[in-house]
Amino acid sequence: MNSMINMDYLVLNANDPSGNVDTFLTKLIDTVTGIGASVFTLAVLIIALCIIFGSISPKNIGKWWTALFSSIAGAVIFFGAKLLKTTIAGLFNGGAQ
């Protein structure tokens, strides 16, 4: 029963004075995308440094480039979600304005 009360609290967003779910979702999306974008950007930097300064055998260089482009794609997805956070949060308000 206690977990159900906590879920109601989360869904209804009782800690927000306006009770606006959009505000809660915007803050949540902002936090998650900030963490994801930071992690993928750090991965891009580390992989790029390994490619630049590492002595990678020609047999393994394709794996490093694949990892680099995959990390770039992940960063682009998270940065895109961060730019569109109000639109994404608006999808869950049930059409209410």
- pLDDT tens track for 40-79: 999 999 999 988 888 778 888 889 999 999 999 999 999 9
For the residues of the chain, what is the DSSP string, one character each? -HHHHHHHHHHHTTTSTT--HHHHHHHHHHHHHHHHHHHHHHHHHHHHHHHHHS---TTTHHHHHHHHHHHHHHHHHHHHHHHTHHHHHHTTSTT--
**Global model pTM greater than 0.95:** no
Q: What is the pLDDT of residue 69?
A: 95
